[in-house]
Amino acid sequence: MANRANDAATVMLTSGASGRIDALFDLRVLRSLWRLISAFFLIFLLPFHGRRRCMAMAPELAEKCGGGGGKEDKASAATGKVVRIPAAMVPRKSAVDKEVAVRRAMAVRRVAEDNGDEENKDVLRDYWLFVTSRGDTMFTQSWTPAKLQIRGVVVLLHGLNEHSGRYSDFAKKLNANGFKVYGMDWIGHGGSDGLHAYVPSLDYAVNDMVRAKQISHFGAGSRSESATTRRRHRIDFAAVGVHHPIQFFFVLHGTADSITDPEGSRKLHEEACSADKTIKLYQGLLHDLLFEPEKEEVTQSIITWLNDRL
pLDDT above 60: residue 72: no
242 vs 30: which has the higher pLDDT:
30
Q: List 248's β-bridge partners, or say none.
A: 276
Terminal alpha carbon distance of the chain: 130
pLDDT above 60: residue 81: no
* Secondary structure of residue 162 in the 3-state scheme: coil
- What confidence score (pLDDT) does residue 216 get? 65
Residue 156 binned pLDDT confidence (cut-offs 50, 70, 90) = very high
pLDDT above 50: residue 223: no
For residues 230-247, average pLDDT: 43
Residue 19 binned pLDDT confidence (cut-offs 50, 70, 90) = very low
Q: What is the mean pLDDT of the chain?
A: 76
From CA 237, how far away is CA 205, in angstroms rounded?
13
- What confidence score (pLDDT) does residue 247 get? 78
- What confidence score (pLDDT) does residue 88 get? 55
Torsion angle (degrees, nearest 10) of CA 93, 97, 99, 100: 130
From CA 179, how far away is CA 30, in angstroms rounded?
91
pLDDT above 90: residue 300: yes
Domains of the chain (ranges; CATH) run 2-79 (no CATH), 93-230 (3.40.50.1820), 238-310 (no CATH)
80 vs 153: which has the higher pLDDT:
153
Between 16-20, 80-84, 137-141, 273-277, the lowest mean confidence (pLDDT) is in 16-20
- What confidence score (pLDDT) does residue 20 get? 47
Between 27-36, 51-60, 164-173, 253-262, the lowest mean confidence (pLDDT) is in 51-60
pLDDT above 60: residue 209: yes
This prediction has a pTM of: 0.64
- What confidence score (pLDDT) does residue 26 get? 65
Contacts of 207 (CB under 8 A, 6+ apart): 132
